[in-house]
Amino acid sequence: MSLLAVGTVAIDSIETPYGKVERVVGGAATYIAWAASYFTDQIRIVSIIGEDFPEEELGLLKTRGVDTDGIHLVKGGKSFFWSGRYHNDMNSRDTLETQLNVLADFSPDLPSEYRKSKYLMLGNLTPSVQMTVLNQMEVRPDIIAMDTMNFWMDSAMDELLKVIKRVDILTINDEEARQLSGKQSLAKAARDILKMGPKYLIIKKGEHGALLFDNEQVFFAPALPLYDVFDPTGAGDTFAGGMMGYLSNKGELNFGNLKSAIIYGSAMASFCVEEFSINKIKSLSDRDIQKRLKMFIDLVQFDI
Ligand code: AMP
């Protein structure tokens, strides 16, 4: 079933206590598509790149069955660029630089078959672009999920709130939930954010897992305690890709399916952080994923 993923396709430079990489492949849509490709085979990306984006990386996505025709290449342009440095705890980071480059003037015009996609993942990018995509959908997708970050809360809050109003699932991290709601307690933050429109809110807490809320229930998905967290970049997007890949396969959105979906998302994110950039999530087998899911089940199963 068709999953449309919108988000940055980017070049990143990353520094962690384990090392430094310059100008590697990144971007929200890149991580989302790779993660989702293990669960569903009709993925389409809408994004924009410059001539500096390595062409072979698009080829690799195509071999996974990802349709990249919706990635607009700007001749002579430069791709969205982000650089960040992680603190020793790997849970927090400083953005050193964000260069919007070709993203600054991005106004997508979706290919006609994309407009009928059944599932939509609005990955992190300019809220007005997320809105443009929503407005171009011919039929409302069965499931609309959205991710965003503090950068857009600081620079485009009004537009962001309009998008949030129209989605089924919102994923943000704990700091962003506090910023968006103005509440310190995550339970209170969730209650207030759910009033802004989404039916479900997922609050990501890095190495401390993720919380899923609707108006009545809450569920906790742990993160796997890993020996080495090499590079957390893209963990949130990989989580979203795993979650939406799973949901696209299941078809129906309800609290039970979302519980499983966020365990799938957490499992995919646990791979992502084990190597720099998309290196680890490019080379997984179904057996790797099944083994990892079993580790999650073992982590939280107990008798009373
Ligand atoms: P995450 O670690 O899940 O927040 O995702 C990191 C990825 O998001 C990197 O590959 C960046 O290229 C991309 N990114 C960083 N800042 C932004 C932004 N303001 N909007 C969209 N994508 C971003």
For residue range 24-71, list pLDDT tens digits in order: 999 999 999 999 999 999 999 999 999 999 999 999 999 999 999 999
Q: What is the pLDDT of residue 89?
A: 85
Compute the residue count for the chain: 304
pLDDT (tens digit, 9 = 90+) per residue, 78-98? 999 999 999 988 888 999 999
Say if CB 48 and CB 74 are below 8 A apart: yes
CA distances to 48, 226, 244 from 230, rounded to whole Å, are: 28, 10, 25
- Which residues, 6 or more positions from 87, have their beta carbon under 8 angstroms from its beta carbon? 93, 94
pLDDT (tens digit, 9 = 90+) per residue, 95-118? 999 999 999 999 999 999 999 999
- Which residues, 6 or more positions from 97, have their beta carbon under 8 angstroms from its beta carbon? 81, 82, 83
Residue 243 pLDDT exceeds 80? yes
- Protein residue with its CA nearest to atom 5 in ligand 1: 234
* Residue 290: band (very low, low, confident or very high) from pLDDT cuts 50, 70, 90: very high
| One-letter amino acid for residue 253 of the chain | L
Residue 26 and residue 9: Cα distance in Å, rounded?
A: 6
* CA 29 from centroid of its chain's CA atoms: 7
CA of 119 to the centre of ligand 1 (A): 21
Q: What is the pLDDT of residue 91?
A: 80
Backbone φ and ψ for 58, nearest 5 degrees, come out as -70, -40
CA of 54 to the centre of ligand 1 (A): 18
Reading the block at residue 216, the tokens are 């009545």
- Protein residue with its CA nearest to atom 9 in ligand 1: 27
Reading the block at residue 187, the tokens are 């339970």
CATH number of domain containing 211: 3.40.1190.20
The total of other beta-carbon atoms located within 10 Å of residue 182's CB is 9
pTM of the model: 0.96
Mutation to probe ligand 1, out of 15, 22, 53, 124 (largest number of atoms < 8 A from CB): 124
Number of domains in the chain: 1
Find the domain containing 103 and state its range: 3-300
Q: What is the pLDDT of residue 90?
A: 84
| One-letter amino acid for residue 72 of the chain | H
Residue 223 pLDDT exceeds 90? yes
